């Protein structure tokens, strides 16, 4: 039986057999508001999956959507009731033409993007442009049954309450000054003491302490409230487990089934040893075409870099594009051996490095509606060393970004000359993807900690140092002739495209995302500025890279790409030393000196130039809608996919169908 679907083409809707719409026919752009552009992504080749694979994919997508409320609550304890009231007003307000209503609509759409009331990148609390009186009046009309409406109102409108989701400023208590909801009534010192007492420096296989719990204080005693079925977030995790259990029954093979069953066990026990057992099984499953991330994974939202947000990405292999990642994986030992880092920090044997290009089928939790374009997991250092890691590049997300950006005038405004424009147009698509592949596949998996070094030794600076390390590894080897020998780059000029765009972004154009007067907060933005500013300072004599002023505008010019690569290698060696030895002071010095502070005048200039292009610096996505098809006996026979759902329509449906907390 052939399923049918609807998709959007040039603003029109029409039916087609289950076949991926062509790039030229697909409508990537959905809508824009504030600093956000909402896009769609295609799911190429989904029609080539077997019936059983489609069934597995569907169950995993449902499991991915069930954790939505968790990440809202993790980001701030008031997010869920605030979202509930805002949505009620948005749907039920009688006058949808007033300035107050339109301002509330924009505010709500921003809350949906960020999974809460703080900006997903800067972490700053949104400033409402609707009045407090309007909000209270409309909320009381809706009578949604939210407790303590007055407190919720104060949180929204009082700028002194919970101003920043994750505070990373030096010299203050990072927990008491952050709005994130991983700790309650616990000081930074109490949290560090709590986990330091647990850790055994001689343990060669340490669990990821604190990963799946909230640290609370009960009667003056600090304790963990663990995320598990029967524990914290149980209603959501019960639904996740329900769909994972269905997925396990239709797994592609025994290895995949074992990994899913171990993840189910972890969700029920909350035992981090079970999580490690799952991670090992998951990383060893290389044969399955369908794969997924589901659960408490990344720690960027915790100022101490320990506790993980809930996230999910369901995907399948892009069989056509996998060739380059297979080449990278096969040569992992060569890259490790030839890294410019000190020999004592290199792995003697690189194990289990696998990489693939994937097609995302659904984004969930902290990966929705904004998402990374590459993932490398697991994060545990000892599991990486003993069992390897999986790295993925999300090809259809990259495609959506690229297609939506065509003809936007960005390069003409911000690149130094026609030479750089031509260079990036010729090589940019290839080098950008390869940089992501190298970052995720080899960068994160490279190097090693010295014996006895605490994986959390760098504390709040750990995420920035790790992302810098992976970026530097990728950048350094992009400029190696080995890339041409392996057929990964067409010639020895190609790497220059990525060098130019990376330094242009790190030094200038990423400032479009920073409000003048603010510092850089997000870890990936910090790592890009750290690298580029450090190398810029290193180049002050040899002029490998410069910032030049022309016609009142600042531009990046690269004068010597080989020297630039040399400096990249020098910084990689230093950052690997910091990581391997747990040098907190060294990490602090690099991050504080290079990664955070912004020149206010240049920042304003870049934003003004960008604004004239009428572009939005951030992007979010609308997921496809999947509908299972069953025969008369209730047997799964196919899967429909629909690309037509709007942004607000999807968010409201998710709040209706996947509200668990």
Q: Are 499 and 561 in contact (CB under 8 A)?
A: yes
- The model's pLDDT over 531-548, given as tens digits with 9 standing for 90+, comes to 999 999 999 999 999 999
pLDDT over 70 (residue 347): yes
Q: Copy the structure tokens of residue 285.
A: 């499953």
Q: Which pTM value belongs to this model?
A: 0.85
Nearest to 414 by CA among 535, 528, 505: 505
pLDDT score of 444 more than 50: yes
**Long-range contacts of the stretch 491-497 (C-beta < 8 A, 24+):** 493/423, 493/427, 494/426, 494/427, 494/430, 494/431, 495/431, 495/561, 496/423, 496/427, 496/558, 496/561, 497/423, 497/424, 497/426, 497/427, 497/428, 497/431
Quote the percentage of the chain above a pLDDT of 90.
87
Residue 8 predicted with pLDDT over 60: no
Q: Tell me how far apart the alpha carbons of residues 27 and 462 are, in angstroms, rounded to a whole number.
A: 39
Say how many CA atoms lie within 13 Å of 501 toward its Cβ. Answer: 22
Q: What is the pLDDT of residues 9-67, one digit of tens each?
A: 333 332 334 678 999 899 999 999 999 999 999 999 999 999 999 999 999 999 999 99
- Looking at residue 18, its pLDDT comes to 60
Q: Is the peptide bond before 231 cis (omega within 30 degrees of 0)?
A: no
What would the pLDDT profile of 487-546 be if each residue is shown by its tens digit?
999 999 999 999 999 999 999 999 999 999 999 999 999 999 999 999 999 999 999 999
pLDDT digits (tens, 9 = 90+) for 577-633: 999 999 999 999 999 999 999 999 999 999 999 999 999 999 999 999 999 999 999
Note whether 430 and 477 are within 8 A (CB): no
Q: Retrieve residue 340's tokens.
A: 């410019």
Sign of CA dihedral 44, 47, 49, 55: positive
């Amino acid at each position: 039986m052939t399923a049918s679907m609807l998709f959007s083409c040039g603003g029109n809707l029409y039916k087609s057999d289950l076949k991926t719409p062509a790039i030229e026919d697909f409508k990537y752009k959905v809508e824009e508001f504030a600093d956000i552009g909402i896009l769609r992504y295609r799911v190429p080749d989904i029609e080539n999956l077997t019936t059983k694979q489609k069934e597995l994919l569907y169950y995993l997508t449902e499991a991915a959507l069930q954790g939505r409320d968790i990440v809202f609550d993790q980001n701030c304890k008031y997010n869920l009731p605030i979202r509930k009231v805002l949505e009620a007003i948005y749907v039920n307000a009688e006058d949808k033409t007033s300035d107050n209503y339109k301002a509330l609509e924009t505010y709500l759409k921003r809350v949906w993007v960020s999974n809460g009331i703080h900006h997903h990148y800067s972490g700053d609390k949104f400033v409402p442009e609707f009045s407090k009186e309007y909000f209270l009046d409309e909320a009381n009309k809706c009578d949604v049954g939210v407790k303590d409406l007055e407190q919720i109102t104060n949180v929204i409108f009082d700028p002194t309450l919970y101003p920043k989701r994750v505070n990373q400023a030096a010299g203050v208590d990072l927990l008491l000054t952050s709005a994130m909801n991983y700790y309650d009534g616990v000081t930074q010192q109490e949290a560090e003491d709590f986990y330091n007492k647990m850790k055994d420096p001689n343990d060669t296989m340490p669990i990821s302490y604190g990963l799946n719990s909230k640290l609370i204080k009960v009667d003056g005693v600090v304790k963990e409230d663990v995320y598990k079925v029967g524990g914290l977030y149980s209603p959501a995790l019960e639904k996740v487990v329900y769909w994972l259990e269905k997925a396990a029954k239709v797994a592609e093979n025994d290895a995949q089934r074992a990994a899913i069953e171990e993840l189910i066990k972890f969700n029920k026990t909350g035992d981090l040893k079970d999580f490690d057992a799952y991670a090992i099984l998951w990383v060893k499953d290389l044969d399955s075409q369908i794969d997924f991330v589901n659960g408490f994974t990344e720690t960027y939202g915790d100022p101490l870099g320990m506790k993980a947000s809930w996230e999910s990405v369901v995907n399948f292999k892009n069989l056509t594009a996998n060739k380059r990642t297979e080449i990278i994986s096969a040569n992992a030992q060569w890259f490790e051996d030839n890294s410019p880092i000190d020999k004592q920090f290199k792995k003697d044997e690189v194990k289990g490095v696998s990489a693939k290009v994937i097609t995302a089928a659904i984004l969930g939790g902290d990966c929705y509606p904004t998402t990374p374009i590459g993932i490398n997991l697991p994060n545990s250092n000892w599991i990486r060393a003993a069992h390897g890691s999986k790295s993925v590049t999300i090809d259809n997300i990259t495609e959506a970004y690229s297609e939506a950006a065509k003809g936007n005038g960005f390069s003409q405004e911000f690149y130094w000359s026609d030479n750089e424009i031509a260079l990036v147009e010729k090589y940019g698509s290839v080098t950008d993807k390869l940089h992501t592949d190298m970052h995720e596949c080899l960068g994160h998996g490279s190097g090693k900690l010295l014996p006895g070094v605490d994986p959390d030794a760098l504390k709040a600076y750990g995420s920035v140092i790790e992302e810098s390390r992976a970026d530097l590894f990728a950048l350094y080897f992009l400029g190696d002739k080995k890339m041409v020998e392996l057929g990964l780059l067409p010639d020895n000029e190609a790497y220059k495209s990525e060098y130019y765009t990376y330094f242009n972004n790190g030094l200038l154009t990423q400032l479009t995302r920073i409000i003048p007067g603010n510092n850089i907060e997000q870890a990936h933005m910090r790592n890009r500025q750290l690298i580029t500013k450090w190398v810029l300072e290193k180049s002050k004599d040899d002029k490998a890279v410069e910032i030049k002023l022309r016609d009142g505008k600042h531009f990046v010019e690269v004068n010597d790409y080989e020297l630039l690569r040399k400096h990249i290698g020098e910084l990689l060696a230093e950052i690997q030393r910091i990581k391997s030895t747990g040098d907190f002071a060294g990490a602090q010095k690099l991050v504080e000196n290079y990664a955070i502070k912004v020149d206010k005048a240049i920042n304003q200039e870049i934003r003004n130039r960008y604004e004239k292009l009428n572009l939005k610096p951030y992007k979010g996505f609308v997921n496809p809608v999947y509908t299972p098809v069953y025969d008369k006996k209730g047997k799964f026979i196919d899967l429909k996919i629909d690309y037509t759902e709007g942004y607000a329509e999807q968010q409201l449906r998710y709040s209706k169908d996947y509200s668990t907390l």
